[in-house]
Structure 1
Amino acid sequence: MQRSFIVGVPPDDLVAYLADFGHAEDWDPGTVRCVRTGQGPVRPGATWHNTSRFRGRTTDLVYVLESREPHQLVFAGANKTVSARDVMKFEPSSPTATRLTYTASLRFKGLARVAEPFLRSEFEELADKVAERLPIAAEAHHG
């Protein structure tokens, strides 16, 4: 799923905010809890324990920041039934705003793969909600 939208935060500040995946609690309606599992600066290799709720069920994934560049963040999450990849690309749209293109990919493992086509519309709906909530959360954090 991919969404592109404007966030009223300069690119460097938006990258810094979103690099801390713990903020997903604020902008991802599926995230119940997201806690950093290490210490030190947020850089590639940093990890978070994420608890998400989808269709009334909770699941835990470990997310790792795979890449942090001035114009892109890449996170990978995994557990025994799913692997997730989140790619966030940042482009200045004005001196005080950023165009964020957010691509989230999910791959189910084993028997769970059978359900994947049936869940697409629900994941698309979740992506719409992220596109609504993320700018509000980032702007509130920045402001």
Structure 2
Amino acid sequence: MTTVSRTFLVQPEPAVVIDYLKDFAHAEAWDPGTEKCTQESPGEIRVGTRWHNVSKIAGVTTELTYTLETLTPGRLVFRGENDSASTTDTITVQAKGGGSEITYDAVIEPKGAGKLGEPLLKLLFERIGTKTEKQMTEVLDGLPA
């Protein structure tokens, strides 16, 4: 299991941040690995909504189905699954100053033979975590107030 965590500040208030990030299709804008992300479940976004995500990481394309497991005014949890890995992304948002403090925790669990590469995965995902923090900050700070 590989865990990556980042805590950072953005200008929008928590309600704006949660409203934007609850739509995992927006990962195309803030996640450096995501190439395409489309909502599979019809209707409004709620717990149980699913997305099909296509990402390229270290030159390898992978597809996962993400499900929104938790949606509260201060916390989002997305669970991604495919045959080779599962991931849990927890985004906690709280008011800080005039904006928000975000804590983004990603837990990646390789399955099968993928477990052998976990030490390298940690290094790779730490780099991705830094890029994600930068991109997410830029995107969220660019949202209308």
The partner residue of 2:25 within 18, 22, 27 is: 22
Unpaired segments of 5 or more residues in structure 1? Answer: none
Cα RMSD after superposing both structures: 0.9
The Cα of 1:119 is off from its aligned counterpart by: 1.9
Match of 1:80 among 46, 69, 83: 83
The CA deviation at 1:94 is 2.2
The residue aligned with 1:141 is 143
Q: Following TM superposition, by how much is the alpha carbon of 1:142 offset from its aligned partner in structure 2, in angstroms?
A: 2.9
Q: Which amino acid in 2 is paired with 1:79?
A: N
**2:101 — aligned with what?**
99
Letter in 2 for 1:67: T
Q: Distance in 1 between matches of 2:11 and 2:26?
A: 17
Give the deviation of 1:104 after TM superposition: 0.4
Give the secondary structure class of the aligned counterpart of 1:121. helix
Aligned residue identity for 2:74: H
- Quick check: 2:89–2:107 contact (8 Å CA) kept in 1? yes
Deviating 4+ runs (over 6 angstroms): none
The C-alpha deviation readout for 1:19-63, integer Å capped at 9, x for no partner, is: 000000000001011100122111100000000101101000000
Equivalent residues of 2:12, 2:143 under 8 A apart: no
C-alpha distance in 1 between matches for 2:120 and 2:12: 36
1:47 aligns with 2:50: yes
Q: What TM-score does the superposition give when structure 2 sets the normalisation length?
A: 0.95
Match of 2:15 in 1: 12
How many residue pairs end up in the alignment? 142
Q: CA deviation at 1:10?
A: 0.7
Could you tell me which runs of 5 or more consecutive residues in structure 2 were left unpaired when the two chains were aligned.
Answer: none
